[in-house]
Amino acid sequence: MLRKVNTGKSDAGSDDLPAAEGRDQRLGADQLKVWHTFVDGGWALMAQVQAHFGAQGVVATDMRLLEIIAERESAGISELATAMHAGLSTVSRVVSRLLDEGLLDRVPSHVDARHRLVRITEAGRAELDRQLVLRDQVIRRCVVDALSEDEYRQIGDIFAKVRDACVEP
């Protein structure tokens, strides 16, 4: 089934055209300007996050993985890879390192005894708490304080739509 593409046009009743009907798929000038602003803002934010984290010895992927596991009792590598939008090998390497550092431990699956899951340790929770304080500092400065409460909520809603559009049917 073809996904519908909203062209933003309100004339001739053709707002939603199938993406594969030969219509030019290139972004228009206004769309490209918005896209470049979006990308530039995202890179600027990530540069601030990386600089802030790096100064404190924090790796963003470690924090995200710990955060996901802390939200659950335990998780498998595939589940973590899906949640992180990352490859299995990348997640497996991060998990192995965090296991070695004592921030995670392995536990058996309640569903399949052959399957091993990981869960966060007390040391992992303490490290995650430290990292979340750092995350909140930079996100508050660069995002929350730069926007109104309504704009901040809108960004959440917008990125939920972007995430949902990126999920393969």
pLDDT tens sequence across 19-44: 545 567 999 999 999 999 999 999 99
What confidence score (pLDDT) does residue 52 get? Answer: 93
What is the number of other CB atoms lying within 10 angstroms of the CB of residue 7?
13
Q: Is the pLDDT of residue 1 over 80?
A: no
- Domain locations along the chain: 38-166
Q: Of 113 and 59, which is predicted with more confidence? A: 59
What is the number of other CB atoms lying within 10 angstroms of the CB of residue 117?
22
Instruction: DSSP for 31-42, please give it.
Output: HHHHHHHHHHHH
What is the number of other CB atoms lying within 10 angstroms of the CB of residue 45?
15
User: CA nearest 64: which of 6, 144, 128, 153?
Assistant: 128
Strand, helix or coil for residue 142:
helix
Q: Is the pLDDT of residue 78 over 90?
A: yes
The full length of the chain comes to 169
- What is the CATH class of 38-166? mainly alpha
